[in-house]
Copies of this chain bind each other. A is one copy, B any other.
Amino acid sequence: MTELRAIPTCEGCPIRLNAVCADCGRDELAALEAAKSYRRLPAGATLVEEGEIPSHFSSIVSGSATVTKTLKDGRRQYVGILLPSDYIGRPGRHASLYEVRTLAETLLCQFERGAFERLLDEVPRLAPRLIEMTFDELDAARELAVVLGRKTARERVASLLVSLARRSAKLRRPLSEADAPLTLHLPLSRGQIADHLGLTIETASRQMAALKKDGVIGGTTRDIAIPNFRRLLLEAGSEGNPPPGYR
């Protein structure tokens, strides 16, 4: 799928316009160029362990990763899914509360933590962009809380598909209105979908099957066809029709 061979320069970087560096000018970029390095990881690699103080701040150039919290008895919840241009890390010497693990082969653009903190002070357009992106992450986490707190299993699965479709097709045009067919490669197994949606693997599987039976989605296990995005959106439950039997 994504080509990981070539180490891009910032100029030609695929995430140039969306990553934490997005707002930097040519001169500011030079400061980042000097400090950055690349790291390539296979699928299933642990990037950050829970409790670890990460040595680097990094951005996903290509690939994907999950942010996971695990209770001591083993219950797992994915609290984030990271796609290209998303960052991993937090300024300051904080132990990570999460495990970060690649879902696929992944290329990172990384900065040693101290160096990144210095850049935050020195490169004026970096901190505002980090603030902006962190607020977006906060919105995503709160949206997940709504999904987990208030939505049915079917709505959760539909919501995940909506979110992944929106993110992977980086819609400039409001996709919300598009009725045109659309395909989506799922980066997650059924078990991982369950870990993200607070469900069991069986329920995740059943709901995928039900959505398919009802014609909301098509395609294969990992490659989902969305014949009518608006329909999927309605199934996700954020758009106005109460689930059957809601008071």
Partner-B contacts on A (CB < 8 A): 67, 69, 71-77, 79-80, 90-92, 94, 97-98, 120-121, 124, 127-128, 130-132, 134-135, 137-139, 141-146, 148-151, 197-198, 237-243, 246
One of B79, B134, B143, B242 near A131 (C-beta < 8 A): B134
Chain B residues with CB under 8 A of A130: 131
Contact call B71/A149, Cβ cutoff below 8 A: no
The 8 tightest CB contacts between A and B, nearest first, are A149-B198, A73-B242, A141-B141, A72-B240, A148-B148, A79-B142, A148-B149, A77-B149
Q: Majority SS of interface residues in chain A?
A: mixed
Give the number of times this chain occurs in the complex, counting copies.
2
Chain B residues with CB under 8 A of A71: 146, 150, 237-238
Contact call B197/A98, Cβ cutoff below 8 A: no
Contact call A146/B79, Cβ cutoff below 8 A: yes
Provide the bound-state CA to CA distance between A69 and B147, in Å.
11
- Identify which of A98, A124, A135, A142 gathers the most chain B CB atoms within 10 Å of its CB: A142
Which partner residue on chain B sits nearest A97 by CB separation? Answer: B139
Chain B residues with CB under 8 A of A151: 75
Contact call A135/B90, Cβ cutoff below 8 A: yes
Chain B residues with CB under 8 A of A139: 97
Provide the bound-state CA to CA distance between A130 and B91, in Å.
12
Provide the bound-state CA to CA distance between A29 and B73, in Å.
46
Provide the bound-state CA to CA distance between A237 and B120, in Å.
38
Chain B residues with CB under 8 A of A246: 73-75
